[in-house]
């Protein structure tokens, strides 16, 4: 087992983690970024990002993250694609375990982000990866010219439905009420898309299938409990996200919903020297640009902390 000390360790590699790395590296702190096996964060599962400033024509999520990573690597930061398995923030230097490798750090930035929530209905586990998915960009291509469904009423659901409408022969958007959380422009794009059909006031009660994968979904009305079976080849769940904070239970203070607590207006957690940036501490805005912004804040705050 190796043990290595770094002044700064950044856990996570979405817009927050890589931005923190760019700032910390340019400040001469030579950070280690423990990026995770699935590095890049949620934008890796997004298609068109139209609201990240600097790209007037929009940019593909994975391509944007490739640029983030290249910019972090250009300066003096070491990026390793491992998952952190344990942390001990009870004393400095802080201890971080990634599989068999042990690290210590004088200061840490936590930017582990959030991940897609799942519905947990009957059949979900059985058909996971065989028609049930939380990522249209990853799995949509398997359902070319097939009928698919997207569940949810937020921007993620709208984005997934619009993306799938270019691949599938038909997309059913299943949402449990009539009003959408998604932005007006996204709802209008869905409404005017001839390939998208709404099932409003319905939830998916069960996913059915056979040895080849999903064959249909059982919908239940949220108004009168009536049921209907709709043939589909895939169901994409797009019902929001939960923060990746399991690792920090008992170490860092959290809100009831699991997001890390920071001193308002800062990236300081309850442990001096441990900072939190990005979606892991933001259940309100959750945007790539705000994540990058707090990554920058965390690196600047950390530099000041180390200088004191
Ligand atoms: P949201 O929390 O905004 O939406 C989740 C949706 O899923 C809601 O419509 C909710 O229904 C529904 N839902 C939640 N739980 C269940 C359940 N158990 N059964 C059925 N339906 C359920 O999450 P998003 O991931 O869509 O968006 C998160 C944030 O990211 C937002 O701020 C969004 O604007 C942003 N975003 C922006 C994008 C862009 O601008 N390109 C792309 C994607 C996301 P209900 O409304 O009834 O609560």
Low-confidence stretches of the chain (pLDDT < 50) are none
The pLDDT of residue 1: 54
How buried is residue 124: exposed, middle or buried, by Cβ count under 10 Å (0-12/13-18/19+)?
middle
Q: Would you give the DSSP letter of residue 260?
A: B
Mutate to test the pocket of ligand 1, among 14, 153, 185, 200 (most ligand atoms within 8 A of CB): 153
The pLDDT of residue 16: 98
The pLDDT of residue 75: 94
Helix H or strand E encompassing 23: helix 15-26
Cβ of 40: how many Cβ atoms within 10 Å?
23
Residue with tokens 């919908």: 219
296 is catalytic: no
Domains, the chain, ordered by start:
3-115+241-307 (3.50.50.60), 118-237 (3.50.50.60)
What Cα–Cα distance (Å) separates residue 167 from each residue in 35, 132, 188?
A: 31, 16, 19
The pLDDT of residue 44: 86
Cβ partners under 8 Å of residue 264, min gap 6? none
Mutate to test the pocket of ligand 1, among 43, 221, 239 (most ligand atoms within 8 A of CB): 239
Q: How far is the CA of 154 from the centre of ligand 1 (A)?
A: 3
Name which residue sits closest to atom 34 of ligand 1, judged by CA. Answer: 155
pTM: 0.77
The pLDDT of residue 3: 66
Q: How far is the CA of 78 from the centre of ligand 1 (A)?
A: 34
Among residues 141, 37, 27, the alpha carbon closest in space to that of 79 is found at 37
């Amino acid at each position: 087992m190796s043990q290595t000390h770094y002044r700064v360790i950044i856990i996570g590699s979405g817009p927050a983690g890589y931005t923190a790395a760019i700032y910390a590296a340019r400040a001469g702190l030579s950070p280690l970024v423990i990026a995770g096996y699935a590095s890049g964060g949620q934008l890796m599962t997004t298609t068109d990002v139209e609201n990240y400033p600097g790209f007037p024509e929009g940019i593909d999520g994975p391509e944007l993250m490739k640029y983030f990573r290249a910019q972090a690597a250009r300066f003096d930061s070491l990026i390793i694609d491992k998952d952190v398995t344990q942390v001990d923030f009870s004393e400095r230097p802080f201890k971080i375990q990634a599989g068999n490798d042990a690290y210590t750090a004088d200061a840490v930035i936590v930017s582990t982000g959030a991940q897609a929530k799942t519905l947990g209905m009957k059949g979900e586990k059985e058909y996971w990866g065989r028609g049930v998915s939380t990522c249209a960009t990853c799995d949509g291509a398997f359902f070319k010219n097939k009928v698919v469904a997207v569940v949810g009423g937020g921007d993620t659901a709208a984005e997934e439905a619009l993306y799938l409408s270019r691949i599938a022969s038909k997309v059913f958007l299943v949402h449990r009420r009539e009003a959408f959380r998604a932005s007006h422009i996204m709802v209008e794009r869905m409404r005017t898309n001839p390939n998208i059909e709404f099932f409003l006031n319905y939830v998916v009660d069960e996913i059915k299938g056979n040895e080849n994968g999903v064959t249909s979904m059982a919908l239940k009305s949220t108004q009168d409990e009536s049921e209907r079976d709709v043939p589909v080849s895939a169901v994409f769940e797009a019902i929001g996200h939960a923060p990746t904070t399991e690792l920090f239970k008992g170490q860092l203070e959290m809100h009831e919903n699991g997001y890390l607590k920071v001193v308002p207006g800062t990236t300081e957690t309850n442990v001096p020297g441990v900072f939190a940036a990005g979606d892991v501490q933001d259940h309100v805005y959750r945007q790539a640009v705000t994540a990058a912004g707090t990554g920058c804040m965390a690196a600047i705050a950390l530099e000041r902390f180390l200088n004191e």
